[in-house]
Structure 1
Amino acid sequence: MTNQTRLASTDELESIFQRELLSNRWAATETSFALAVRHRDLGDWPASREWVQQCLLLLEGFPSDSEEQVATARTSVGGVQLPTYLHSGVVEERFGALG
């Protein structure tokens, strides 16, 4: 686990994502959002867009009919703050539409 007082590197976050993808797809979805934020903040727009797409793809597998279903389980991942609720509308609001 990364130290929450510093930002995790994108490599660290990608390693976390790979582990979570096998064991906890919601956690992996949160981590993909964090990766999109980190890459955007680093100015790597192509990588950020790839992680936005990954996040949206994972979100398709979850119901989003109520706040409880879209509430994030963590407040941050690798030092990146997560939104309170995570669904496609939030992702598009933060990153813009990909289409």
Structure 2
Amino acid sequence: MTDQTRLASAGELESVFQRELVTDRWAAAETAYALALRHRDGGDWPKSREWVQQCLQLLEGFPDETEDQVATTRVAVGGVPLPNYLHAGVIRERFGDLG
């Protein structure tokens, strides 16, 4: 996504995710978070849960002892704002039972 001000469709974000999954797993985790948020805000709880689980699974492969290790690298993905830090605790706080 080059235009971070326009809200990308879920399909566009899924395409970005697929590319990132091969090239940059941290970016893929950020995009999975954005997809979970998009689906949750759209009322699609089952899809949101899928993306929450995908994000958590990706995050398991990264260290999380320091703030630097869990700091997001982007402010937003496809117009969806990201938290400053991304780790399992943030996911569970933001998504509750979905996480």
| Equivalent residue number for residue 3 of structure 1 | 3
| Distance (Å, rounded) in 2 between the aligned partners of 1:29 and 1:82 | 11
Query: Matches of residues 16-95 of structure 1 in structure 2 within 5 Å?
Result: 16-95=16-95
Q: Distance in 1 between matches of 2:73 and 2:23?
A: 15
In structure 2, the gaps of 5 or more residues are none
> Would the aligned equivalents of 1:4 and 1:78 in 2 still touch at CA under 8 Å?
yes
TM-score of the superposed pair, with normalisation by structure 1? 0.96
Corresponding pairs, count: 99
Give the letter for the 1:29 counterpart.
A
Query: Is the CA contact (8 Å cut-off) linking 2:36 and 2:49 kept in structure 1?
Result: yes
SS in 1 for 2:27: helix
Where does structure 1 lack aligned partners over 5 or more consecutive residues? none
Q: Share of identical aligned residues, percent?
A: 73
TM (norm. structure 2) is 0.96
**Cα pair distance change 1:44/1:98, threshold 3 Å:** closer
